Amino acid sequence: MKTYIIDNHPLFMDALGGLVKLFQFNSTIYKYTNTLDAIEALDKTSLPSLIFVNMSMPKLDGLGFLKVLQERQILTPVIMLSDNDDIKLMKKALRYDIAGFVPKTHSPAQIQNALNQIFNGNTYIPETVELRLSRIKNLTTDKLQADSSINVLGVTRRQREVLKLAAQGHTNKAIALMLNISEHTVKSHISAMFQLLHAKSRVECVQRAYQTGLIRPPESNSM
């Protein structure tokens, strides 16, 4: 297995690589100090199973890197590393298919906990970010329409597609086949919706999605 770590701080990359090996001891860690080198490597070798990328990178930042992956339809799970807690940038990143955020201000124990959640198929979003997103949602809930709710919550189009299919009763495996994505990605999307909608079950998640206008009830829902 291969893991890419893209960051401009070698010591941090070394420490993160050590933590990754606690969960994937057979993973080979490839380190890049800029995103352009990582993109070149993606063109020349087999795809990695996981990518970490710092949001604040020179020449091409983390968001630009995510755009390149999207354009090339590379579905490798991506964990965004963050030097700060800029909520606007985080909301933009959430529109892409990411597996979570890991702030570089986290302690080693916090990073290990984040990786544990990610390697168990969950999307990791720090509590502070969840709270800020929740406050934004609560301030605007009465005015939400389907498209505006996506922007406020930072929900991607693909996450809404997954949620629509889940509301129709499809299993994660069936959704993965229908959308041509991995089952892990489906689980990550649903987990992210659980956190953003503060739901504890699939049924509750769907009900809250109806209430906020993210998706429409089955009788009027069209794909």
- Out of 109-113, 128-132, 136-140, 155-159, which region has the weakest mean confidence (pLDDT)? 136-140
- How many C-beta atoms lie closer than 10 Å to residue 112's C-beta? 14
Q: Which of 12-26, 74-88, 91-105 has the highest mean pLDDT?
A: 12-26
pLDDT at 47 over 70: yes
Class of the 2-124 domain? alpha beta
Residue spans of the domains in the chain: they are 2-124, 129-215
Top mean-pLDDT range of 55-69, 107-121, 189-203: 55-69
| Other Cβ atoms within 10 Å of 75 Cβ, number | 15
Per CATH, is 129-215 categorized as 1.10.10.10? yes
Q: From edge to edge, which strands make up the β-sheet containing 28-32?
A: 28-32, 2-6, 50-54, 78-82, 98-103
Token pair recorded at residue 13: 């990359």
53 closest CA partner among 119, 99, 105, 118: 99
| pLDDT at residue 147, rounded to an integer | 43
Residue 203's contacts (CB-CB under 8 Å, 6 or more residues apart) are none
Angle between the N-to-C axes of helices 172-179 and 183-196, in degrees from 0 to 180, rounded to the nearest 10: 110
Residue 127 has pLDDT above 80, yes or no: no
Q: Is 204 helix (H, G, I), strand (E, B) or coil?
A: helix
Residue 97 has pLDDT above 50, yes or no: yes
